[in-house]
Structure 1
Amino acid sequence: MQTLHYQLDADGVATITFDAAGSPVNTMSLAWQDDLSDVVATVVGDVARIKGIVLASAKSTFFAGADLKGLMRLTAADAPRMFTEIERIKRNFRTLETLGKPVVACLNGTALGGGWEVALAAHHRVAVDDGRAQFGLPEVTLGLIPGASGVTKMTRLLGLMGAQPYVLEGKTFGAREALELGLVHELVADASQLRERALAWIAEHPSAQQPWDDKNYKMPGGTPANPKVAAALTVAPAMLRKTTRGLYPAPEAALAVMAEGALVDFDTALRIESRALARLACGVNARSMISAFFFDLNAIKSGQSRPKDVPRSQPLKVGVLGAGMMGAGIAWANASRGIATVLKDVSLAKAEAGKALSRQLAAARVAKGRMSVAEQDAVLARITPSERDADLRGCDLIIEAVFESRELKARVTRDAETMLAAADGFATGVFASNTSTLPISGLAGASARPEKFIGIHFFSPVDKMKLVEIIRGRQTDDETVARAFDYVQAIGKVPIVVNDSRGFFTSRVFGSFVMEGAAMLAEGVPAAVIENAGIQAGMPVGPLAVLDETALSLSVHVLEQTRADFAADGKSYVAGPGELLVELMVKEHKRAGRAAGGGFYDYPASGKKHLWPQLKPLFERPTLAWDIAELKDRLLYRQAIETARCLHEGVVTTVHDANIGSIFGIGFPAWTGGALQFIYGMGIDAFAARAAQLAATHGAGFALNDAVLQTLRHRQPHY
């Protein structure tokens, strides 16, 4: 067998060791499914001689789960075959757990998804007390549900209410929590002790059965027939729909499987589960989410966007110029990950005010039990507020996070760059700009070493946003890109690498979203309809609300800078209708955004924000016919088309950077798998046909030329 080994010793203990050849992990591949059937048949043949069964792994982890590459190749036509395969796995699990022989799973490491379902086939689970190991069923985060008995068993182990976080939300847990939940029965200090405890339990339990096979079994908390459970289940679908907005079928399917399965016998519940998984696994949503949150994310984590042949590094001391919200957030990101940081501003008072953010964030974590007081003190001790350039001396990396002004950025670059770490009289450190819009190659003109100048674009709020956009200037060398990449990973963020251009990648695509929303308002579409279209499409908030948060005045500043740059090149920049409306809001109506007191929204001192009442008489056209489906398409297609253009132009160079950057950076709906996967999931030809319809009605922003389409076809991933 290619994926597992079977051994029956003289004492009657049968050991099934999962060990997929040529793979670092065990997965539920077709080969494994075949091997499992063969080994279960062997166990049945040996049952008279067997006293107990041990499930073990020869890998550093127990079991990784489903074969996701195989799932990526499924289509709707494969659903019947998928159902048959799932049912075969379950029959083999049921055979093992109903033989009457004790089955013990030895969890030497992580067991997620299908791996946890393998563990649940055992009557007794022993795990290593290792904080790094994770258990659970995160399938919903990939557009799937646990289908190899995970939903059914977790519901019967924890109850309908107790199992929901682990099934509907994909919450994972460590060994200690598993022990507290009763999902793991014993912990050992070291993997070498697993087999000893397994053999001891087998000796103490000559026969065994699953809890749900006991005639006296009762579901924890009760079935849906229980009035309290029934009352909770009445509102659960509505609460779930409020979260998913109807765009994520997996959690809704999981809830249905839990509730329906709780009303029937165990084996019928398993069939309900199989049908639901087969339907989801062969759908577009699952392929899109697997593509993004497994393959694309792992491509970034493994450093596929990082220049090769450059040794790994991590800065020991980082300087941050500017102690506003962005600079203060960067200081927290550094210090909370063990990196000494100098937070510099024009005065010590401003620098201290910036450090206060870290004090607040640390205190909140202490209050929630996520950080000890000693850890809090250590984090704060790593941040040195300062008003002196001299305190930056010896920094491996300096990041400027000052206002979006070329002149100001040039001045702080020249002043601080000389403080970078040096060896043998030569500077060795890297200087970075946190700009979100200004081209890096132009800013590098103020640097004495443009090859060591790079963009490191954080997103606000830094403590919550995982993405960091690394921008390579025209002269930036590979070593500098690699060092920036390593730094971003060292502080626990997700790096994407893009090439220099106006707006780079994320700001450029973000701009297409918010300006399309503003253009709709200029056409006369009601503001509330625009905002709801964005939310229904799956964006975190509507485009007008986002413009308020980022400041309409900043958008006008970018517009003015763009006009000036074009003029300097002897060209004329033609602003779009959305840009012109935002400019009108700021200059004519003095509505500059939330920080300035109000923009598209009013922000009363007490009560919730609400749309500015004057939007209706100023812009709305009561006779205008609008279609919510078309508005949703406009908001999504505009971003996807701009992303495709960025790929064609070489601004973004990989599909995985584009997808993850769009989801993590600008909130492109996760159900799509990212801006490019949105195109690939629909099919390039179908997407192009719809884009052409939108272009005919709403302008060149939706036009896809043949060169861009050719790039999309050439770069489409294949699994």
Structure 2
Amino acid sequence: MQNLKLETNADGFALLTLDAAGQSMNVVNDAFLADMEAVTAQIAADDSIKGVILTSGKPAFMAGADLTQLVQSFGKLTPKEAFGFSQRATAMHRGIEKSGKPWVAAINGLALGGGFELALACHHRVLVDNPKALVGLPEVNVGLLPGSGGTVRLGILIGFKKALDLLLTGRTVAPAEALKLGIVDEVVPAEKLIDASRAWLAAGPDPVRPWDVKGWVPPQKKGLTVPEDSAAYMMMTGAIAQKGYNTPAPQAILSCVFEGLQLPFDKALAVESKYFAKLLTDPVARNIIRTTFISKLAAEKGARRPAGVPKSEVRKLGVLGAGMMGAGIAFVSATAGIEVVLLDRDVPTAEKGKAYTAKVQGKLIEKGKLSQDKADAVLARITPTDDYALLEGCDMIVEAVFEDMGIKAETTRKAEAVIPASAVYASNTSSLPISELAKASQRPDQFIGIHFFSPVDRMGLVEVIVGKQTSKETLARALDFIAQLRKTPIVVNDSRGFYTSRVFRMFIFEGVAMLEDGVEPARIENAAKAAGFPIGPLALLDEVTMELPVKIIDEAARDAAMTVNKYTIERGMPVLQRMIALGRGSRKAGGGFYEYPATGGKRLWPGLAQEFPPAAEQPDLEELKKRFLYSQANETAQTLEEGVLETPEDADLGAIYGWGFPAWTGGTLSYIDTVGIATFVAEADRLAKLYGSRFAPSAWLRAKAEKGEGFYPAATAAAAPAAKELA
């Protein structure tokens, strides 16, 4: 057995250690299941073994399912096969429970998903007292549910309300809360973990679980007879319908717990496996796992880093501009252990930027997530100044000054007069072409774009823009810097708006185009949220200001250096111009599409009906959702065709983590694959005839559709579960 080590002792208490060969962490996969099946049968047959302590030989107990294996199975497994996959793990856990020997899980570190389901199958759980030893069932976050007894056991152990809170949020809990909730039985120091487990076994516990005792009755066999329980279920159903009906996992979890608490134990497990099989064969889970786990992890491990370039490290960083972006970049860099020179036009402005770090730290200290001494050490790494001379010795510069070509050029010249010849110069810009900005540099091969997202300390994505003369060494060093910050990079080629800003504009401008078409404002906002966007386009424009996108569009139109200006917009500009003329260009200006009263929440401005009268006949919700999704997906395909994007992974990561494209889609290109490229092209043609050429597929995309070529290998939507296979 390559994944396990079994040691027997004179006292009859065996030690079974999870230790997957060649892996940094234990995961649930076919090899693990085979080993566990074999060792469980061996233990059950060995009369000398009186009990089992199950622990891990790695820092973490077990991370859960091997998601890479799951992604590879999408589109290949039938619902019946997926059901069998779940039932195999379920049977392995039942083998533990019915082995006739008491098992105790000595949880020495993080235990999530299938790893915590394994612990739940044990008769007793002892958890190490370490804040990093998080436990939970976060499967909902990847579009799945616990598939080997997690929903059933959790519901029985702690009741449906507490169970659903954990299962529907996917949140993980630290030892103290785990003990309070009742999902572990003891919390002990690391050095006492095995001794405490052995002591429990020595007390001679009953190896029969309550649900295996003859005459056991499910907690809610007679149904929801308690009114408050019925009301709680109804409220949860409503909340799911309102916030997550694009993702089937929450509904499936709710059904599993509801049904599971009314059924005999093994029947409840079978029901759980059926719901799991439906989710596993649904494209939503594939999309979420592929982008938010597989692609994200690959990007963070250097998937786009040029080969053959030695690893580098930034020890001293110059941040030019101490506004919101510069202050955020300084904070995350200092937190990563980098010395930061934060420069602005005068010292008070620079000090204000440094104060942002103290403000964020204060909140973390209040929550107990940061100690004062560590906060002080981070703050001491930031030097606020207005003196360019202090940039001497910097390994890298990140310029975050005002979005103006002239100001950025002047800043570049001043900094390069001081910094070492080996330093990398990065511009944090969201739309200005890097190759144009690099013209102010004496060494354009060391010039690159690094586009952070605001707020920097909370947004994990970084868009790296390669200019026409940017060297592969410079790209590698930029990616090494982002790795130091523990952020997720995507790499794109130079173009006006690059990728994220260019496609994001399609979202906000589609919203104002709808308003121009006579769609009711509330209907526009609700359609965006129903599609899965975190905020409606009108509310978002109030926050970013309407002047900003108008200014960017106008600058792009005037830019003679752009022989082909792709940063245009077909519809919606008159709406923004009218709102600005009315003095309602943003929330900061006092109000925009919304009013912001001193008391109570924001509300749509009543004057919108007069300025943009609603049409007598309103479109249905599905049509509006499709307009949002298709306009952005089609624009993304164009950026890939033009070579701005080089990989579908970068496209999807940028969409989800850059501007909040719905995670259930897997990203803009995954959305096309899910719809089916031929279907997408046909529907895009229909939308183009009705609403404008921004929806029209290119000849390149049509050719791909004719050949049935998706953006990912074997890009076909996973087959929908066939009910008769699961009957």
Q: TM-score, normalised by structure 2?
A: 0.89
Give the structure 2 partner of residue 101 of structure 1: 101
Letter in 1 for 2:371: S
Give the structure 1 partner of residue 29 of structure 2: 29
Residue ranges of structure 1 left out of the alignment (5+ in a row): none
Does residue 1:584 correspond to 2:584, yes or no? no
Give the structure 2 partner of residue 547 of structure 1: 541
Q: Secondary structure at the match of 2:52?
A: strand
Does residue 1:449 correspond to 2:443, yes or no? yes
For residue 84 of structure 1, report the CA deviation from its aligned partner. Answer: 3.1
Are 1:555 and 1:582, in contact at CA under 8 Å, matched by a contact in 2?
no
Following the alignment from structure 1 to structure 2, what is the Cα–Cα distance between the partners of residues 131 and 310?
A: 37
Give the structure 2 partner of residue 273 of structure 1: 272
Following the alignment from structure 1 to structure 2, what is the Cα–Cα distance between the partners of residues 121 and 573?
A: 57
For residue 310 of structure 1, report the CA deviation from its aligned partner. Answer: 2.7
For residue 669 of structure 1, report the CA deviation from its aligned partner. Answer: 0.3
For residue 130 of structure 1, report the CA deviation from its aligned partner. Answer: 4.8
Give the structure 1 partner of residue 683 of structure 2: 690
Give the structure 2 partner of residue 373 of structure 1: 372
Following the alignment from structure 1 to structure 2, what is the Cα–Cα distance between the partners of residues 224 and 571?
A: 64
Alignment partner of 1:438 out of 422, 432, 436: 432
Following the alignment from structure 1 to structure 2, what is the Cα–Cα distance between the partners of residues 159 and 452?
A: 59
Are 2:681 and 2:701, in contact at CA under 8 Å, matched by a contact in 1?
no
Are 1:156 and 1:212, in contact at CA under 8 Å, matched by a contact in 2?
no
Give the structure 1 partner of residue 165 of structure 2: 165
For residue 411 of structure 1, report the CA deviation from its aligned partner. Answer: 0.8
1:201-224 alpha-carbon deviations (Å, 9 max, x no partner): 43343643335556899979x995
For residue 76 of structure 1, report the CA deviation from its aligned partner. Answer: 9.6
Are 1:513 and 1:639, in contact at CA under 8 Å, matched by a contact in 2?
yes
Following the alignment from structure 1 to structure 2, what is the Cα–Cα distance between the partners of residues 76 and 520?
A: 40
Following the alignment from structure 2 to structure 1, what is the Cα–Cα distance between the partners of residues 441 and 579?
A: 34
Following the alignment from structure 2 to structure 1, what is the Cα–Cα distance between the partners of residues 462 and 523?
A: 32
Are 2:126 and 2:193, in contact at CA under 8 Å, matched by a contact in 1?
yes
Following the alignment from structure 2 to structure 1, what is the Cα–Cα distance between the partners of residues 575 and 305?
A: 38
Q: Secondary structure at the match of 1:100?
A: coil
Q: Check 1:264–1:650 CA distance in 2 against 1; reply closer, same or farther (3 A cut).
A: same
Q: Number of paired residues?
A: 709
Following the alignment from structure 2 to structure 1, what is the Cα–Cα distance between the partners of residues 614 and 275?
A: 45
Following the alignment from structure 2 to structure 1, what is the Cα–Cα distance between the partners of residues 247 and 507?
A: 22
Give the structure 2 partner of residue 330 of structure 1: 329
196-205 vs 266-275, which moves further: 196-205
Are 1:518 and 1:577, in contact at CA under 8 Å, matched by a contact in 2?
no
Give the structure 2 partner of residue 559 of structure 1: 553
Are 1:8 and 1:14, in contact at CA under 8 Å, matched by a contact in 2?
yes
Letter in 1 for 2:466: R
Q: Secondary structure at the match of 1:595?
A: coil
Letter in 1 for 2:429: T
Following the alignment from structure 1 to structure 2, what is the Cα–Cα distance between the partners of residues 306 and 624?
A: 52
Does residue 1:507 correspond to 2:498, yes or no? no
465-474 vs 74-83, which moves further: 74-83
Q: Check 1:176–1:514 CA distance in 2 against 1; reply closer, same or farther (3 A cut).
A: same
Letter in 2 for 1:498: V
Following the alignment from structure 1 to structure 2, what is the Cα–Cα distance between the partners of residues 25 and 304?
A: 21
Following the alignment from structure 1 to structure 2, what is the Cα–Cα distance between the partners of residues 401 and 582?
A: 30
Q: Secondary structure at the match of 1:470?
A: strand
Are 1:441 and 1:473, in contact at CA under 8 Å, matched by a contact in 2?
yes
Alignment partner of 1:620 out of 599, 607, 613: 613
Following the alignment from structure 1 to structure 2, what is the Cα–Cα distance between the partners of residues 76 and 305?
A: 28
Are 2:453 and 2:459, in contact at CA under 8 Å, matched by a contact in 1?
yes
Following the alignment from structure 1 to structure 2, what is the Cα–Cα distance between the partners of residues 166 and 621?
A: 43
- Pairing of 1:603-618 with structure 2 (within 5 A): 603-618=596-611
1:640-668 alpha-carbon deviations (Å, 9 max, x no partner): 11112222222122222211110111110
Following the alignment from structure 2 to structure 1, what is the Cα–Cα distance between the partners of residues 368 and 340?
A: 25
Following the alignment from structure 1 to structure 2, what is the Cα–Cα distance between the partners of residues 205 and 52?
A: 9
For residue 251 of structure 1, report the CA deviation from its aligned partner. Answer: 1.8
1:331-357 alpha-carbon deviations (Å, 9 max, x no partner): 222233333322222122222222332
Following the alignment from structure 2 to structure 1, what is the Cα–Cα distance between the partners of residues 376 and 567?
A: 53
Following the alignment from structure 2 to structure 1, what is the Cα–Cα distance between the partners of residues 534 and 347?
A: 37
Are 2:247 and 2:284, in contact at CA under 8 Å, matched by a contact in 1?
yes
Alignment partner of 2:656 out of 648, 653, 663: 663
Does residue 1:517 correspond to 2:517, yes or no? no
Q: Check 1:629–1:201 CA distance in 2 against 1; reply closer, same or farther (3 A cut).
A: same
How many percent of aligned residue pairs carry the same amino acid?
A: 45
Letter in 1 for 2:712: Q
Give the structure 2 partner of residue 262 of structure 1: 261
Q: Check 1:194–1:310 CA distance in 2 against 1; reply closer, same or farther (3 A cut).
A: farther
Give the structure 1 partner of residue 290 of structure 2: 291
Following the alignment from structure 2 to structure 1, what is the Cα–Cα distance between the partners of residues 703 and 183?
A: 51
Q: TM-score, normalised by structure 1?
A: 0.90
Does residue 1:461 correspond to 2:462, yes or no? no
Q: Check 1:450–1:152 CA distance in 2 against 1; reply closer, same or farther (3 A cut).
A: same
Letter in 1 for 2:342: L
Q: Secondary structure at the match of 1:173?
A: coil
352-361 vs 672-681, which moves further: 352-361
Following the alignment from structure 2 to structure 1, what is the Cα–Cα distance between the partners of residues 572 and 483?
A: 35
Are 2:44 and 2:101, in contact at CA under 8 Å, matched by a contact in 1?
no
Q: Check 1:322–1:55 CA distance in 2 against 1; reply closer, same or farther (3 A cut).
A: same
Following the alignment from structure 1 to structure 2, what is the Cα–Cα distance between the partners of residues 580 and 239?
A: 36
Alignment partner of 2:522 out of 514, 517, 528: 528
Give the structure 1 partner of residue 350 of structure 2: 351
1:374-431 alpha-carbon deviations (Å, 9 max, x no partner): 33333333322222222333222222212111001111111123332x3xxxx22222
Are 2:583 and 2:589, in contact at CA under 8 Å, matched by a contact in 1?
no
Following the alignment from structure 1 to structure 2, what is the Cα–Cα distance between the partners of residues 568 and 591?
A: 33
For residue 636 of structure 1, report the CA deviation from its aligned partner. Answer: 0.5
Are 1:433 and 1:454, in contact at CA under 8 Å, matched by a contact in 2?
yes
Following the alignment from structure 1 to structure 2, what is the Cα–Cα distance between the partners of residues 340 and 574?
A: 37
- Pairing of 1:16-165 with structure 2 (within 5 A): 16-18=16-18, 24-46=24-46, 48-57=47-56, 61-72=60-71, 73-75=73-75, 78-165=78-165
335-344 vs 141-150, which moves further: 335-344
Are 1:694 and 1:702, in contact at CA under 8 Å, matched by a contact in 2?
yes
Following the alignment from structure 2 to structure 1, what is the Cα–Cα distance between the partners of residues 699 and 658?
A: 28
Following the alignment from structure 2 to structure 1, what is the Cα–Cα distance between the partners of residues 97 and 456?
A: 48
Q: Secondary structure at the match of 1:502?
A: coil
Q: Check 1:610–1:703 CA distance in 2 against 1; reply closer, same or farther (3 A cut).
A: same
Q: Secondary structure at the match of 2:159?
A: helix
Give the structure 1 partner of residue 315 of structure 2: 316
Q: Secondary structure at the match of 2:398?
A: strand
Following the alignment from structure 1 to structure 2, what is the Cα–Cα distance between the partners of residues 574 and 319?
A: 31
Residue ranges of structure 2 left out of the alignment (5+ in a row): 716-727
Following the alignment from structure 1 to structure 2, what is the Cα–Cα distance between the partners of residues 275 and 254?
A: 11
Q: Say what the alpha-carbon RMSD is for the aligned residues.
A: 3.1
Give the structure 1 partner of residue 423 of structure 2: 429
121-130 vs 279-288, which moves further: 121-130
